[in-house]
Structure 1
Amino acid sequence: MRRYDERVPAIHDCADPMSLLDGVRAARTAIAAGRCIVMPTDTVYGIAADAFSHAAVAGLLAAKGRDRGFPPPVLVADRAMASALAESVPAELEPLLDAHWPGPLTVILRAQPSLTWDLGDTGGTVAIRVPDHPIAIGLLRETGPLAVSSANLHGRPAPTEAAAAAEMLGDSVAVVLDAGTVGGTAAAGEQNGSTILDCSTPGTFRIVRQGVLPRAVIAEALGDLLVDG
């Protein structure tokens, strides 16, 4: 565990088993207390908070310098957890989820209307992903769904190193889990993050952010149901 300067929280080295254990415990405690943490995913580092805590989600948005017009996606540990958040999952989407969950695919679905949360101005939808990272999955199994956005200030690059996330976000996060370099190099014109697919309109699918999962892969699965953005 180390600090980069006094305003940056302690960073837990997840390559060390004891530090990983301490870090996950600290992260779980911070989430329960309504604080934000930095966690690794398969694409970039994310700033995470309890998806069902209004104050925690507001703190996440404030840490990034964003407002309610930028609701964060929600990361889940598995398909069952995702199904509890979504009103329904289109049958046409199932092959993509079979192939790319866990993975770099975020899907926007109609949210269960009974959920008592406030992610921002979502229009009744929720963006959901199962990340392909063992530390992320393990933490999500303990905490349940987390609101997670890339761990950067608005307008800055999404970090693939924990140190960069910690230096940008400072004391707005309580815990940083450092799993080394994550993700990879995006193609020109694309982002390091997940590809976001809007599935909230019946019979129509639209890519709203091109990330590391190529459009061609999605088009092969969805055919004419995939429309231009």
Structure 2
Amino acid sequence: LILIGGFVQLLAGFLAFRKYDHLGGSAFLTFSALWSSYGATRIISAAYPSLQNGFAAGAVAFLVLNAFLSILASSFNVVLLCVTLAMELLSVCFLLFTLENLPLPLEIVTLSIFSIICFYGATASLANCMFGKDLLLMGPPLFTAWSSKKDTPDPPPCVCPKSHCTSGLRTIAELLNTGGVCGVPTDTVYALAASCKHPQAIEKVYRIKERPQEKPICIFISNLEQLRAAAPPISPLLWEFMENVYPGGIGCIIQKGEWLKKLGVGAGYSRVGTQDSIMIRVPDLTVLVHLIDMTGPLAITSANPSGEVDSTHHDMVISRLGHKLEGVLCDGESDEVVASTVVNCTKIDEGGITIVREGCIPAGKVMQIFERVKNR
């Protein structure tokens, strides 16, 4: 069990490094080494009693190293500080064990406390890393380093207006209309947006995300009436299905055609969707709908480096991609932690629909909607 605990801390350390938390990562890796060493010592010392002095020296070294980590942890968060203090107590037990003077009750209490703290810390690190936000609290730092610059924070790397301000919407709309790429909120997670009138902006989206060229980009429109005005060759069944899923977190893949140019896609026609199909979505977010009314259809993809977790707050977009963007429309925390559900409707009249990606809307609910529409 002790060795398993060492593995769990090793995992927590790697997760911390992935979030660029170098102190937390270093601490957990150090604790993994000590925890594993403690377990190995219990096994090896029984077979080789002559190694006790060497183990004692190692325990003293861990005590000194962990003391420095405890000081650093006090300026990081409460959980990490508790882990370092518990590890200090465990190091004492390690030393007493090598000197053959460890009371069993002390060992049991120490291991129990340390296990509980480490379990919570590892679980919190894993959950917060997976979902990209603080689902489990780690606590504030007890001490903060004084800085003469704390009252003058660094300016953001791009324009970051607030979504509730009309001027903010106009700023982002102007950036998009002049060929810029911006981070915007949606009714699911944050997205990168580019005007369909500017194919070079859509190309820039691919570069910013390091997105494979074979992965198509969808478009967002503000309402279904825009699509009706473009007069695409859509069957009554597909129209009715769209009326039941728009606006919302479902995107429909339909046949591509010249009608997209009537929709306002313009010069970006060849850079959205595939050669034969295009995914269209109507978001259920007022601020984004107003923005699309000001810009026309937008090419949209999630605002995260390709293969990484979605961005669920504008701060995540700014910190991860802000230096590559012209602007980010700040709207706080997103309503969802996963992207939209994508449905292939290209063969809806030949037998049904296909769930390409299950997102915030469960596949079962999508199929229920389709069956209800089909059986009317």
TM-score tier, shorter chain, comes to 0.7 to 0.9
Aligned partner of 2:277 in structure 1 is: 125
Gap change, CA 1:4 and 1:173, over 3 Å in 2: farther
Give the secondary structure class of the aligned counterpart of 1:140. Answer: helix
Aligned partner of 1:44 in structure 2 is: 189
Choose from 133, 144, 160 the match for 1:11: 160
Is 2:287 the counterpart of 1:135?
yes
In the superposition, the TM-score normalised over structure 1's length comes to: 0.84
Aligned partner of 2:310 in structure 1 is: 158
Aligned partner of 1:196 in structure 2 is: 342
Preserved CA contact (<8 Å) 1:68 1:121: no
Distance in structure 2 (CA, Å) of the matches to 1:143 and 1:48: 11
Aligned partner of 2:366 in structure 1 is: 218
Is 2:354 the counterpart of 1:206?
yes
For structure 1, the residue ranges without an aligned partner over 5 or more in a row are: 186-191
Gap change, CA 1:113 and 1:34, over 3 Å in 2: same
Distance in structure 1 (CA, Å) of the matches to 2:208 and 2:154: 18
Preserved CA contact (<8 Å) 2:345 2:354: yes
Give the secondary structure class of the aligned counterpart of 1:184. Answer: coil
Preserved CA contact (<8 Å) 2:322 2:328: no
Give the secondary structure class of the aligned counterpart of 1:29. Answer: helix
Is 2:255 the counterpart of 1:110?
yes
Higher strand share: 1
- RMSD over aligned CA atoms reads 2.5
Higher helix share: 2
Preserved CA contact (<8 Å) 1:198 1:207: yes
Choose from 79, 88, 91 the match for 2:233: 88
Aligned partner of 2:296 in structure 1 is: 144
Gap change, CA 1:86 and 1:9, over 3 Å in 2: farther
Q: What letter corresponds to residue 291 of structure 2 in structure 1?
A: L
Gap change, CA 1:208 and 1:32, over 3 Å in 2: same
Distance in structure 2 (CA, Å) of the matches to 1:69 and 1:150: 16
Preserved CA contact (<8 Å) 1:85 1:112: no
Gap change, CA 1:160 and 1:82, over 3 Å in 2: farther
Give the secondary structure class of the aligned counterpart of 2:247. Answer: coil
Distance in structure 1 (CA, Å) of the matches to 2:288 and 2:300: 11
Distance in structure 1 (CA, Å) of the matches to 2:251 and 2:323: 28
Distance in structure 1 (CA, Å) of the matches to 2:335 and 2:282: 15
In the superposition, the TM-score normalised over structure 2's length comes to: 0.53
Preserved CA contact (<8 Å) 1:84 1:112: no
Distance in structure 2 (CA, Å) of the matches to 1:118 and 1:174: 23
Preserved CA contact (<8 Å) 2:224 2:243: no
Runs of 4+ in 1 over 6 A off after TM superposition: none
Deviation at 1:73, TM superposition (A): 0.9
For structure 2, the residue ranges without an aligned partner over 5 or more in a row are: 1-151, 262-266
Gap change, CA 1:87 and 1:218, over 3 Å in 2: same
Choose from 57, 71, 74 the match for 2:202: 57
Q: What letter corresponds to residue 41 of structure 1 in structure 2?
A: T
Alpha-carbon displacement from aligned partner over 1:122-155 (angstroms, at most 9, x marks no partner) = 0221100000111100001111100011111101
Task: Select the structure of larger CA radius of gyration.
Answer: 2
Give the secondary structure class of the aligned counterpart of 1:55. Answer: helix
Distance in structure 1 (CA, Å) of the matches to 2:358 and 2:171: 34
Higher RCO (CA 8 Å, separation ≥ 6 residues): 1
Distance in structure 2 (CA, Å) of the matches to 1:101 and 1:4: 41
Preserved CA contact (<8 Å) 1:86 1:110: no
